Amino acid sequence: MTKSLQSAAEIIVGKVGAARGLDGTLRIIPLTDFDGRFDALEEISVGGKIFGVEEVKHIGGQLFMKFAGVDNRESARALTNKFLTVDRKDAAPLPDGEFYTFDIIGCEVFADDKKLGTVTDVLKTGSNDVFEVDGTLLIPALKAVVKSIDIAAKRIVVDANAY
The CATH homologous superfamily of the domain defined by 105-158: PRC-barrel domain (2.30.30.240)
- Backbone dihedral angles phi then psi of residue 73, each to the nearest 5 degrees: -60, -40
- The residues spanned by each domain of the chain are 2-90, 105-158
pLDDT by position in tens, the chain (length 163): 444 444 457 888 999 999 999 999 999 999 887 778 899 889 999 999 999 999 999 999 999 999 999 999 999 999 999 999 988 887 778 888 888 888 899 999 999 889 999 999 999 888 899 999 999 999 999 999 999 999 999 999 999 888 7
pTM above 0.95, yes or no: no
Identical fold between 2-90 and 105-158: no
Q: Where does 2-90 sit in CATH, by number?
A: 2.40.30.60
Q: Residues 100, 61: contact at Cβ < 8 Å?
A: no
The residue ranges of DSSP E strands in 40-145, in sequence order, are 43-46, 49-59, 62-67, 83-87, 99-100, 108-111, 114-124, 129-133, 137-140
